[in-house]
């Protein structure tokens, strides 16, 4: 897993693809295609184009929620919310080599997702974000520290990805909590210094784990 994941944003599928190519070109190596409220054909068509972009830049491609689209587009994985298809059911559909991520907001959610057999957990929101309509309680660094300490005490080592409203100023303190990676949207979408931001995130991560 890379220390940085990009969750796609855009007003149209074309904008999603444009932003995905920009962040891939700038050095991001993990992308989650997150299309909401589009029909299946549009989602699949966009996912196939996203696959081509990710192949060009050797980037891991994850699809949000939609198992059928993820499998048909030959994505590397799927990210599932707590109300989506159960990870164990998803595993039966996509097989053992597919990456399955799961959302969590609490320690109990994390333990549930670990029991569900996910490969990583997206833990959030870190702070208020406009990218989700139904927002769970905000965690912040204090919440991350508490939950990760509990997971370590129980000897769990599933990668935990921080997500939700993370800004450049948060990077250092977030990695101090023991978070394995961060997933961001606005920090990279339509920014003029994407490459600089990605380099900073990767170098900060490298400093923290040494």
The total of other beta-carbon atoms located within 10 Å of residue 56's CB is: 11
Our measurement of the distance from residue 61's CA atom to the centroid of its chain's CA atoms, rounded to an integer in Å, reads: 10
Provide the residue ranges of all domains of the chain, joining segments of one domain with +.
4-209
User: Architecture of domain 4-209 in CATH?
Assistant: Alpha-Beta Barrel (3.20)
What confidence tens digit (pLDDT) does each residue in 49-76 have?
A: 999 999 999 999 999 999 999 999 999 9
Q: Can you give the pLDDT at residue 208?
A: 85
DSSP structure string for 134-178: SPPPP-HHHHHHHHHHHHHHTT----EEEESS--GGGHHHHHHTT
Cα 44 to Cα 36: distance, rounded to the nearest angstrom: 12
Cα 1 to Cα 208: distance, rounded to the nearest angstrom: 16
The rounded percent of the chain whose pLDDT value lies above 70 is: 97
Which of 10, 31, 47, 81 minimizes the C-alpha distance to 198?
A: 31
Mean pLDDT value of segment 106-120:
97
Mean pLDDT value of segment 32-44:
96
Q: Check whether 151 has a pLDDT greater than 80.
A: yes
Q: Can you give the pLDDT at residue 210?
A: 61
- What pTM value is reported for the model? 0.95
What confidence tens digit (pLDDT) does each residue in 75-107 have?
A: 999 999 999 999 999 999 999 999 999 999 999
List alpha helices for 26-139, DSSP H: 40-56, 67-72, 87-94, 107-116
């Amino acid at each position: 897993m890379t220390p940085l994941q990009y969750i796609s944003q855009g007003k149209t599928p074309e904008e999603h693809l444009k932003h995905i190519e920009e962040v891939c070109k700038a050095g991001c190596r993990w992308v989650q295609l997150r299309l909401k409220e589009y029909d299946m054909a549009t989602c699949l068509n966009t996912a196939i184009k996203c696959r081509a972009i990710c192949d060009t830049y050797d980037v891991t491609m994850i699809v949000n929620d939609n198992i059928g689209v993820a499998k048909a587009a030959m994505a590397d994985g799927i990210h599932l919310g707590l109300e989506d298809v159960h990870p164990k059911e998803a595993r039966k559909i996509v097989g053992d080599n597919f990456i399955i991520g799961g959302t969590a907001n609490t320690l109990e959610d994390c333990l549930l997702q670990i029991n569900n057999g996910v490969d990583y957990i997206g833990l959030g929101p870190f702070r208020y974000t406009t990218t989700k309509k139904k927002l769970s309680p905000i965690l912040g660094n204090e919440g991350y520290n508490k939950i990760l300490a509990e997971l370590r005490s129980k000897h769990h080592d599933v990668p935990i990805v921080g997500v939700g409203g993370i800004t450049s100023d948060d990077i250092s303190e977030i990695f101090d909590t023991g978070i394995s990676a961060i997933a961001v949207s606005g920090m990279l979408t339509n920014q003029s210094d994407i490459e600089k931001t990605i380099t900073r995130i990767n170098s900060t991560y490298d400093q923290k784990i040494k």
